[in-house]
Chains A and B, each alone.
Chain A
Amino acid sequence: MSSARKSGEVILEVKNISLAFGGVKALTDISFDVREHEIRAIIGPNGAGKSSMLNCINGVYQPQQGTITFRGQTFQHMNSRQVAEMGFARTFQNLALFKGMNVIDNIMSGRNLKMKTNIFQQAIHFGAARREEVANREFVEHIIDFLEIQAFRKTPVGRLPYGLQKRVDLGRALAMEPQVLLLDEPMAGMNVEEKQDMCRFVLDVNDEFGTTIVLIEHDMGVVMDISDRVVVLDYGKKIGDGSPQEVRANPDVISAYLGTAH
């Protein structure tokens, strides 16, 4: 499957990133790149710094050292809104949905940046605001169709099972029409069937929209099956980088996951 896709130029380059919280070094001198249209996985044991890495990319954390280059523009640190406007979207490990709102409204919130009318126009809901709402709602409906959640349009998200909430989370990220999709453990806590569905959606997103995907994942089986290239972190350091086969054969990676014989 992955051989059918073509990866393009490098669009995102992370160089010598170091991040510390007081005396705790979360990331030390991390560098890697992401090519257009590829699925790039970041893996590592608990506390390896995977989520910190993602948070640096989308501007939640500001690294003390290093640069991030996106499509030729280099940044010392990123700014969340700017990142979103440049075409990044993300999902969250512990879900950050609006539990009391229904599926449509949650996914609509991902269209926020695409809406240009102001609060007064929206309050009157006439003319431009209405046209905008209709156009955006149509886009959201395509996502609902794509993710096969038609049966839950009007269900408050808090009432949905976990696996479906994850799907809504992905839907909201897709609503931003991202160029790069950052997925923080999309399969965590799912049963086998839910994982299979999610894998299929991730592959479909990559295949149909050509979206570049950076994903953090715990489940090695999933990572090896769907990603083109893998970065391995351990204790905030990069210990491996390459195709799934290369990473699997890397002795440092094996010892980080399985421990070394003493």
Chain B
Amino acid sequence: MQTTFPRLMLDHAQRRPGAAALREKEYGIWQTVTWQQLATLVRQLACGLAEAGLQRGQHMVVIGENRPRLYASMLAIQSLGAVPVPLYQDAVAGEFVFPINNAEVAFAVVEDQEQVDKMLELREQCPQLGRVWYDDPRGLRHYNEPGLASLDALIEAGRAYDAAHPGFYDAEVAKARPDDVAAMFFTSGTTGNPKGVVHTHFTLLDRANAGKTFDKLTENEEVLAYMPPAWIGQNIFSYAQWLACGYIVNCPESAATVTIDLKEIGPTYYFAPPRIFEGLLTSVTIRMEDASAIKKWLYKTCMAVARRVGPARMDGKPASLIDRIQYRLGDWFIFGPLRNTLGFSRVRVAYTAGEAIGPDLFTFYRSIGINLKQLYGSTETAVFVCLQPDHEVKADTVGVPIDGVEIKLADSGEILVKSPGLLKEYYKNPTATAEVLDAGGWYHTGDAGFIDAGGHLKIIDRAKDVGRIVGGPNDGAMFAPKYVENKLKFFPYIKEAVAFGDRREKVCAFINIDFDAIGNWAEKRNLPYAGYTDLAQKPEVYELVRECVEQVNADLSQDDKLAGSQVSRFLILHKELDADDGELTRTRKVRRGYIGEKYQVLVDALYGGRTEQFIETAVKFEDGRSGSVSATLKIVDVKTFPAMKRAA
């Protein structure tokens, strides 16, 4: 389909002017913005921006949560042929410097006082950033900064400009071509500066439509947008597909009300990274542990039925009459109400992506009747590469290549993709572009994996992270750190894990406990603790985690390729790994190399055979102050298992 985002929006406004485009909960009531109202708003914003001097091809940053007027701003920017660059709203000011200077950004639309403060802080480092508009005026009344104004003022200016230049807006929209750059997304990048991924209207819309066709999405879908709009997943899902399908995007009241809003809206199409599903399941589990004995029994009994019958049912396989009756009863008592509480009553298609999802977690949702599926893609591929078709869903694969996508494996095991949705380039970085896009038009994903017998793609790890064990009994064995870490993280007690082992003789790991889950566990056992650091170092907690690690080892020993990756020793870190300390990316992926350097003493202690190690770490708090955490960490050995193949 050869079109652009603004034209799609105008098209909806013309065909269905009164239909809802966006909803936002304000003062406790869901307020609707119709396509017609949206079109008017976008027109005024665009005229206002034009008057302020926004040029075709210029970049403009948009920072904030999912807010109707920020979405409208992105459309307005695109209407003028300029390029919106959404940035992560939870980043600290310093992280904005590179993208803003790299893309020579002079204008910004931001959500509220918090973001305005960050922009003002950046003025010295980014002198070209002249104009900043904000959506929510709260707390900004006394700000008297040059170039700072509210979106209301911009809309007002736009209205006047539009009246003086009536044909201007339509002419601008008509100038745009599908091959023009539509948006730029900065990848969080586990190493070095972030890279600006350039996408055109065509690449984004082609993939949005491929996904639409694959899952038969209609204009009647309801969607709740609550992940950062700077994440391409959210952007595709609540912006590109929103315009491609014309469905309704709902913006939650605040981050704290998402679970309530989810329940009120009851989305039909849902997309979230695994940690959201994990968080929901953890809250259910914790609440069930506090429930009365009868409820607990009922939950346990019904969930056993769900585990036995549910997955096959979702795969469309026939079940025996007794199973069907039991499942129906379970649905009546537990699954239905549970889906309702989670806000998934109406979900037709739910996707998880971004990270591997634990098989137990995945099966839980499918077994209670939620059509949860996995997909594979990245910022560079405009998300949709592989999707799992209904009834063909497995926990450890990511689905089949969809319409338009070709996949092949390089000799190194790296996955190569050819698709109409590939990035145009990395902005001002031809070297990096050449590294990932070869002459034949293949995109090098950097992921290692293979295609299984059923034609489904299976991902093991990042290709560059796959290493070798050197020396020791497992000399030469393959080491896939992320595969090991994910297996560890599938336990509710383990929040993060970092595995080391490349070019070493054995695998050792850092563990981050899940404070909520282990805190609850400790309370149940009357185990007193003073805080995170104290809880993490309790011998009982070490014992609990050791059992988890042993289970992972037992599991890994079944896999003859990865049996050598079993964890020999581990320690529990004294602080939570945090994006503010640079240990995680903004999308919460561990930066293994950086962590290895930062905690060099701990790595040395793990491999040096010590049983404890003192460490002091500087930490940054959310308000920008810094302090330090120190502790003596225990290090313990774990049982490893002989590989199955050798045992046989």
Contacts and interface: CB of A to CB of B under 8 A. Distances in A.
Query: Does chain A bind chain B?
Result: yes
Interface of A: 4, 137-138, 141-142, 144-145, 148, 150-151, 153, 204, 207-208
B253 interface: yes
A150 B257 contact: yes
Nearest to B27: A141
Nearest to A138: B27
A4 B142 contact: yes
B254 interface: yes
Interface of B: 26-29, 139, 141-142, 253-254, 256-257, 260
Given A151-B260, A204-B139, A142 B254 contact: no
Contacts of A204: 139
Contacts of B260: 151
Given A150-B253, A150-B254, A204-B139, 10 more contacts: A138-B27, A142-B27, A144-B27, A144-B28, A145-B26, A150-B28, A150-B256, A151-B253, A151-B256, A151-B257
A93 B341 CA distance: 36
A104 B28 CA distance: 11
Contacts of A141: 27-29
Contacts of A142: 27
Contacts of B257: 150-151
Contacts of B141: 207-208
Contacts of A208: 141
B297 to A, nearest CB: 25
Most buried by B among A4, A138, A150: A150
B48 to A, nearest CB: 26
Nearest to A151: B256
A238 B487 CA distance: 67
A74 B108 CA distance: 55
Contacts of A145: 26-27
Contacts of A150: 28, 253-254, 256-257
Nearest to A145: B27
B28 A151 contact: no
Most buried by A among B26, B28, B139, B253: B28
B78 to A, nearest CB: 31
Contacts of A138: 27
A165 B171 CA distance: 55
B534 to A, nearest CB: 17
B28 A153 contact: yes
Contacts of B26: 145
7 contacts: A4-B142, A141-B29, A142-B27, A145-B26, A151-B254, A151-B256, A208-B141
Contacts of B28: 137, 141, 144, 150, 153
A-B residue pairs, 10 tightest by C-beta: A141-B27, A151-B256, A151-B257, A141-B28, A150-B253, A150-B257, A150-B254, A145-B27, A4-B142, A142-B27
A14 to B, nearest CB: 31
B31 to A, nearest CB: 12
A8 B334 CA distance: 62
A144 B254 CA distance: 12
Nearest to A104: B28
Contacts of A151: 253-254, 256-257, 260
Contacts of B256: 150-151
B290 to A, nearest CB: 13
A144 B28 CA distance: 9
B4 to A, nearest CB: 36
Nearest to A204: B139
A148 B138 CA distance: 12
A145 to B, nearest CB: 6
A148 B254 contact: yes
A62 B256 CA distance: 45
A144 B139 CA distance: 16
B362 to A, nearest CB: 28
A150 B142 CA distance: 26
Nearest to A153: B28
A142 B141 CA distance: 18
A205 to B, nearest CB: 12
A158 B78 CA distance: 49
Nearest to A144: B28
A138 B29 CA distance: 10
Contacts of B29: 141
A203 B260 CA distance: 30
A153 to B, nearest CB: 7
B256 to A, nearest CB: 4
A75 to B, nearest CB: 36
Nearest to B258: A151
A144 to B, nearest CB: 7
A151 B26 CA distance: 12
Nearest to A200: B139
A4 B139 CA distance: 14
A3 to B, nearest CB: 11
A202 to B, nearest CB: 14
B339 to A, nearest CB: 20
B112 to A, nearest CB: 12
Contacts of B27: 138, 141-142, 144-145
Contacts of B142: 4
Contacts of B254: 148, 150-151
Contacts of B139: 204
Nearest to A193: B623
A164 to B, nearest CB: 11
A107 to B, nearest CB: 12
Contacts of A148: 254
B57 to A, nearest CB: 39
B389 to A, nearest CB: 37
A231 B606 CA distance: 60
A72 to B, nearest CB: 31
B136 to A, nearest CB: 10
A148 B257 CA distance: 10
Nearest to B623: A196
A150 B139 CA distance: 18
A71 B393 CA distance: 74
A150 B256 CA distance: 8
Contacts of A207: 141
Contacts of A137: 28
A204 B140 CA distance: 11
Nearest to A139: B27
A70 B101 CA distance: 58
A150 B28 CA distance: 8
Most buried by B among A137, A138, A141, A151: A151
Nearest to B139: A204
A148 B256 CA distance: 10
Contacts of A153: 28
A240 B92 CA distance: 44
A226 to B, nearest CB: 15
A4 B144 CA distance: 13
A207 B26 CA distance: 23
A11 to B, nearest CB: 23
A104 to B, nearest CB: 8
Nearest to B254: A150
A203 B141 CA distance: 13
A60 B26 CA distance: 38
Nearest to B28: A141
A110 to B, nearest CB: 17
B25 to A, nearest CB: 8
A194 B260 CA distance: 23
A204 to B, nearest CB: 7
B30 to A, nearest CB: 13
A208 B140 CA distance: 11
A64 B377 CA distance: 78
A159 to B, nearest CB: 13
B142 to A, nearest CB: 6
B105 to A, nearest CB: 30
A151 B27 CA distance: 12
A130 to B, nearest CB: 16
Nearest to A149: B256
